[in-house]
Structure 1
Amino acid sequence: MLAKSICLLATTAVLSVPAAASAQGRVMTVPTASVTFSVAKDDIDQAKFEAAFARTLDAHPEWVRAALEKSEVLRLQAAATATAAATATTERAVYARYSALHPAAPVLGQPAAPVTLVEMFDYNCSFCRMAQPRIAALLKSSPDLRVVMVMTPILGADSTVLARFALAADLQGRFAQVHDSLFTGPTPQPTDEASLSLLARANGVNWPRAKTDMAGAAVTARLATMTQDWEALGRVGTPSFLTPKGRIVGAVSIEALAASLNAGEGAK
């Protein structure tokens, strides 16, 4: 019945062609504007059509499932595309902020170097510890590179203490020394006052001043900015790198990091 109804719909669509042309049996090209379609009201019984359609769906429930599955796949694909586009936009925005000449984070390498690599890390992260010598080697071989160090202390209270300590050291111009010590020292790094004071003295940091700065407004504001950017990127794992070509997650090779910086972008 359904097939018959569909055929009926197709065969009741007619073209308005001049009668003379039809009588002579010639093939004519009919202008689009002269084409009309009409279906006689009595040709379709709406109730019968709906009944036939319902019977067809009852006989083929797999058609309904297939249609729903396809609809869901299309919805998920559209959502994934939108999410990826939004994430890429956020990555570019965050990268641009840290590529500024005076970023809100400590810098390794030449502060005014034209190429920027952004690293998000945690001092208690074993993969960040693995990445550290690779970053050092990359800086040594790339004089035009600087690495902006964005602290994302995601592994507990001790990680936050170490991040604050490193930022306090940065206020005294001793970030690079403390950063290296934190990654080459014991793991997990102790965070009691005695241990931190020894670490401070070993790296030329004024401990009483650093202790005050760790709880001060400047360190708190900088750490809050870094945490906000990390959350904006979807709370990515560590280490996570932002490059001119996008984001890389994990303790990747020097070659992969170098390749990500060869886009010729990010110069400031």
Structure 2
Amino acid sequence: MIVRTLAAAFLASTLAMTAIPAQAQENMPLSPKQVDAVKKVVRDYLMEHPEVLGEALEALREKMRAQAESDALKMVEARRDEIFNNPDDPVAGNPKGDVVVVEFFDYNCGFCKQTFDPVLEAVKADKNTKLVMKEMPILGPDSVLAARVALVAKAQGQAKYDDVHRAFMKFRGRLDEKTIFRLAGEAGLNVEQLKKDINGPDIDRQLKKVSELARSLEIGATPTFIVGDRLLSSAVDQSTLKQLIDNARKGLAKKG
């Protein structure tokens, strides 16, 4: 409704200015008769050309989308180290890769599960790409619990994290508390010790840090990827991610 109102107001003001003599535009306000005349011109034009309003709405949406993306990328640049080089974050692929793919995800997100294999395959195939995984549990308490368990596993080593991460992502259906601890045990973690460690202050700090970072970037959905100068909130297939990686590498070459 707000977008429609803005677009209509913009169109009306543009048409109004073309209908008023130049001297009146510069030196005097519209009289009631002129206002009525402008309203009639606008109404008649829209009745004859309703497609214009649709075009104006689409142009406004595109402008707003582009502005939002531009603002997000400025914030990415301002917080680059925190996004791409945070030592707390689990990583896959080449830790020293020239291109970094960042993924914000939730273990109960169906699209995140859908992209799990394609993302890993694209990163493995490239050989010079680093994947940074940001635990962003937004789909309820079970998602938060799964993220906590995964981060405890990370504290025991990247290999432990990889096993738990894979088990959670490969599970079909919604993860609940019973399933989370069962899968963690099957991945080799000591479940009793795990239950003691999941509420530790370091785990709290890591989750809060990612949550605050996501808010600053206006990321509210999973999966969301950052690759080079692109921020994409949607599932991706292997070929799409490969193209994003290639484009990011070309961008680095131009800067270098």
Using the size of structure 2 for normalisation, the TM-score is: 0.71
Aligned partners of 2:123 and 2:62: how far apart in 1? 40
Aligned partners of 2:71 and 2:121: how far apart in 1? 33
Structure 2 residue runs of 5 or longer lacking an equivalent are: 1-20, 46-52
Structure 1 residue runs of 5 or longer lacking an equivalent are: 1-5, 10-45
Q: Identical aligned pairs, as a percentage?
A: 26
Q: 2:6 aligns to what?
A: none
SS class of match (1:261)? helix
**What amino acid maps onto 1:99 in structure 2?**
F
Mean CA deviation greater in 243-252 or 129-138? 243-252
Do the aligned partners of 1:122 and 1:152 also contact (CA within 8 Å) in 2? yes
Does residue 242 (structure 1) correspond to residue 213 (structure 2)? The answer is no
Listed one character per residue, the Cα deviations across residues 159-216 of structure 1 (whole Å, up to 9, x for unaligned) are 0100111011000011111100111124212313xx4444333223233332222100
RMSD: 3.3
**What amino acid maps onto 1:144 in structure 2?**
N
Shift of 1:266: 6.9
Q: 2:147 aligns to what?
A: 163
Do the aligned partners of 2:101 and 2:226 also contact (CA within 8 Å) in 1? yes
Shift of 1:80: 6.1
Does residue 254 (structure 1) correspond to residue 238 (structure 2)? The answer is yes
- For the structure 1 residues 116 and 78, does the alpha-carbon distance in structure 2 shift closer, same or farther, using more than 3 Å as the test? closer
Listed one character per residue, the Cα deviations across residues 106-151 of structure 1 (whole Å, up to 9, x for unaligned) are 1122333332100111101111111001012112212111211111
Shift of 1:81: 5.9
**What amino acid maps onto 2:114 in structure 1?**
M
Highest CA radius of gyration, 1 or 2? 1
Q: 1:189 aligns to what?
A: 175
Aligned partners of 2:128 and 2:37: how far apart in 1? 70
Shift of 1:259: 1.2
Does residue 217 (structure 1) correspond to residue 201 (structure 2)? The answer is yes
Aligned partners of 2:105 and 2:209: how far apart in 1? 14
1:148 aligns with one of 91, 113, 132: 132
- For the structure 1 residues 75 and 148, does the alpha-carbon distance in structure 2 shift closer, same or farther, using more than 3 Å as the test? closer
Aligned residues: 215
Q: 1:86 aligns to what?
A: 71
SS class of match (1:147)? strand
Aligned partners of 1:133 and 1:254: how far apart in 2? 8
Q: 2:214 aligns to what?
A: 230
- For the structure 1 residues 255 and 75, does the alpha-carbon distance in structure 2 shift closer, same or farther, using more than 3 Å as the test? closer
Does residue 97 (structure 1) correspond to residue 75 (structure 2)? The answer is no
